[in-house]
Every structure is written in C-alpha cells, then in structure tokens.
Chain A
C-alpha cells in the first residue's frame, strides 16, 4: 500500500506545471524515503529529476517500492479539480492499476475522489553521478525566468559565460544581439535576492533557450535557482522544494560544429 498526504494541493500543481511541458508520461517511483521521478524529453536533450522526500508530506506510507506510471496531462487535469488549499492524498494498492486522488477542502466540508488508470511505462533511467562543478550561479528564480524569456526574443541559443566579473547571458539572431550581465551581490540582505557566483575557472557554454524556458516553469516552486556548469558537461538547473526535495533539470550543451 502506498499513501501520501500533502497539506496543500498547490505544491503538487506547481510540480506538475514544472514537468508537463517536458515530459508526456513518467514513472513516479515511490519508496519508504519518498517520491522520485526521472524522465527525459522525447528528443533526449534534457532530463527532469524530481525528489519529494517523505518528510515533506503530512502523512506518508509506502510498504514496498512501487512505480506509478502516470500520464502527466491526465494528472494535471485531475489536479485542476483541487483548490490550492485542499489537502491531497494519493493512494495506490501494491498490485493495483490505479491511483486515487482525494481532495479535502480546508473546512473539511467537501471531499472529492478521482481515480486514474496507471500506465506501463518503459523508463529510460540515466545514471547521473553527483559531482563538483566548475562554476555555480545562484540567483533569484524570477530573474532567471526573465533572462530566458527576454533573450528568446533575440535568438534560439544562449551563451552563458562565467568570469570573475559575473555571469553573462548572450543571445544573437537575425535582428541583433542581447547581453545580460549579473554581478555577484551576495552582500544583499535578503537571501532570495542574492546572486552568488562560485567559480574555479572561467567558462562559457551554449544552451538551447527553448529548453531553459521549459525549466523556468518551475519558478513558482522556489525563490532561488542554481545553475551548475562544467565545460563539456550538461548544465544542471536546480530549484529546491522547501527543505524537503528538489526539481533538477539537465540540459546537454550545444557544441560548435
């Protein structure tokens, strides 16, 4: 038996928002530690990795590991039936082929139950080693969102350059060129507004803005985002979900022909 209850439907809605443009179907892997999901987009260029540890739930029970194969669009439709303040419980039998969503209103006067059929999904799981990166940039999530949106009006590719001076995002296209530079401002009082750059050596990498724009759908989940970069390796874009998990996106770099 798997059963997990979270106090606010809003959180699960935000998680789905952050996943649905990248992934059609995905296995939600539930263990006694929590829920995780790893899925690549259909072109195998990017990957989303979600972790929601059990301590982020009001109630969590997972008798044995279970993978819930879920069509993200169907789950999104069901979650739209919940109010943001509703409590949500997910429930699945060990050998069952459905997952049940229960929404309870804050005043407990309304209870809705939706049953969704599970899918059999062949998951393509990638082994991604945890590693130190050459450069990391922590910045307000809304700032990163704005930069990706603004540079998309200029070109399809962004060059991210990290130097001692700061981090520079550059896009160029038929109509011209755009450059946005952020400087280290780790002295700003409010942590969520800080730009914190760590760097072992200068580097410059190019990425497709189309995917970065998908990643910024997670902006509502966290105040800050961290970009981790190493030459010739995929970019890691991480949004922390409070203190109980994260959503990480990986994007292979573009390499000059």
Chain B
C-alpha cells in the first residue's frame, strides 16, 4: 500500500 506523505515533508512552517 502506498504511504500517505504529509505536507510538512514538502513545505516548511513559516
């Protein structure tokens, strides 16, 4: 099954 990534793996908190 594919793993669901989180947005935090792509974009940083500002």
Answer whether A and B are interacting partners.
yes
Residues of A within 8 A of B4 (CB): 45, 208, 252, 254
Query: Out of A46, A128, A257, which one reaches B2, CB within 8 Å?
Result: A257
Tell me the A236-255 residues at the B interface (CB within 8 Å): 250, 252-255
Which of A17-25, A119-127, A135-143, A212-220 touches B?
A119-127
Q: Is the CB of A257 within 8 A of B12?
A: no
Given known contacts A157-B2, A206-B2, A125 and B10 CB-to-CB distance under 8 angstroms: no
B-contact 0/1 string along A41-69, CB 8 Å cutoff: 00111110000000000000000000000
Q: Is the CB of A257 within 8 A of B7?
A: no
Tell me the B1-14 residues at the A interface (CB within 8 Å): 1-14
Residues of B within 8 A of A127 (CB): 11-14
**With the chains together, A47 CA to B14 CA distance in Å?**
14
A234 lies within 8 A of chain B by Cβ = yes
A256 lies within 8 A of chain B by Cβ = yes
Query: Out of A43, A233, A256, A257, which one reaches B6, CB within 8 Å?
Result: A43
**With the chains together, A40 CA to B14 CA distance in Å?**
13
Q: Is the CB of A252 within 8 A of B9?
A: yes
| Chain A residue at smallest Cβ distance from B14 | A127
Query: Out of B3, B7, B9, B14, which one reaches A254, CB within 8 Å?
Result: B3
**With the chains together, A257 CA to B4 CA distance in Å?**
10
Given known contacts A44-B8, A252-B9, A126 and B14 CB-to-CB distance under 8 angstroms: yes
**With the chains together, A40 CA to B5 CA distance in Å?**
14
Q: Is the CB of A126 within 8 A of B2?
A: no
Q: Is the CB of A46 within 8 A of B7?
A: yes
**With the chains together, A44 CA to B9 CA distance in Å?**
10
Residues of B within 8 A of A124 (CB): 13
| Chain A residue at smallest Cβ distance from B10 | A234
Residues of B within 8 A of A254 (CB): 2-5
Q: Is the CB of B10 within 8 A of A40?
A: no
Query: Out of A126, A157, A206, A256, which one reaches B13, CB within 8 Å?
Result: A126
| Chain A residue at smallest Cβ distance from B12 | A127
Q: Is the CB of B13 within 8 A of A44?
A: no
If A44-B6, A125-B14, A206-B2 are given as contacts, then 18 extra A-B residue pairs at C-beta distance below 8 Å, sorted by A number, are A40-B7, A44-B7, A46-B7, A126-B7, A127-B12, A127-B13, A127-B14, A233-B10, A234-B7, A234-B11, A252-B9, A254-B2, A254-B3, A255-B2, A255-B3, A256-B3, A257-B2, A257-B3
Q: List 22 A-B contacts (CB under 8 A).
A: A40-B7, A43-B6, A44-B8, A45-B4, A45-B5, A45-B6, A46-B7, A125-B14, A126-B7, A126-B14, A127-B13, A157-B2, A208-B4, A233-B10, A234-B11, A252-B7, A252-B9, A253-B5, A254-B3, A254-B4, A254-B5, A255-B3
